[in-house]
Amino acid sequence: MVKLTENLRIGDLKYCVSNFISVDEYVSKIDDDNITIAFFCNDDEVAAELKDFVEKAFFTEIKDIEIADTITEDNKYILFVEFERKISFPKILLGILKDISFLTDEKKWCFTTLKHHHQMPCTEENIKKYVRLTKLKNTPEKTDLKDAKEVGVKEGYEIELQEGFDKVKFINEGYVSKQVMEKHIRESSSINDIDERVLRLLENKFPNSSIISTDEKVFIIKGNKILMLG
């Protein structure tokens, strides 16, 4: 074990922290829609030093941070760090890893997620592709067709989105519950893997809304309603 000083220096945590992290696999203890990151350390002192460094350097972004009471099967100590689920999360995470790299001398970070247990390079593109970045809060528990009619949305009709030469068609399948959307997300092999052209058309059609895409569906979230497009 490396004996650490009070103020960490470059390379002090080399070989002490695993080069892979867990993203969004563990449930938050303070907000079930936060994103929880797990770092894996060789011993409790390393975990404590890493906690102190991360907490001081990124206190404005962190919602909660703690060392787990138990260790992993391969005797690693887990440091949990929670963040708000938002679009800027990939840049925040990469910024943290960049700063930690000065301590660990690690150049190639990898990560796993709930649906992708194989380790992937920790890049902005991969994080956006495999981690949900929009919240599920304040969504209805039941389909509310009455509200759909009130805002002029019919169920089950075709809508066409077009801008210049770009054109795409969806079937409006009506408003759905949070549980329905979560089921599609769980069963999907990837999320938010949508063509930027299509995403732009959707954003223009549904301003001030959050958009989540799965393999087969697109969900438009605005306020307490979720609209499903097929």
- Check whether 116 has a pLDDT greater than 90: no
pLDDT by residue (tens digit) across 85-110? 989 999 999 999 998 988 888 779 99
- Check whether 1 has a pLDDT greater than 60: no
> Cβ(181)–Cβ(226) under 8 Å?
yes
In the prediction, which pLDDT does 8 show? 65
- Check whether 36 has a pLDDT greater than 90: yes
In the prediction, which pLDDT does 140 show? 40
Between residues 89 and 204, the one the model is more confident about: 89
The dihedral built from the CA positions of residue 114, 118, 119 and 123, taken in this order, carries a sign that is negative
pLDDT by residue (tens digit) across 5-15? 456 677 678 88
Please give the average per-residue pLDDT across 182-201, as a whole number: 85
In the prediction, which pLDDT does 137 show? 53
**All domains in the chain, ordered by first residue:** 20-130 (3.30.1360), 145-229 (no CATH)
23-37, 43-57, 168-182: segment of lowest average pLDDT? 168-182
In the prediction, which pLDDT does 138 show? 46
pLDDT by residue (tens digit) across 117-165? 789 999 999 999 999 888 875 444 333 334 333 333 334 456 677 665 5
- Check whether 185 has a pLDDT greater than 60: yes
- Kindly report whether the global pTM for this prediction surpasses the value 0.85: no
Binned at pLDDT 50, 70 and 90, residue 184 comes out as: confident
In the prediction, which pLDDT does 150 show? 35
Summary mean pLDDT of the chain: 81
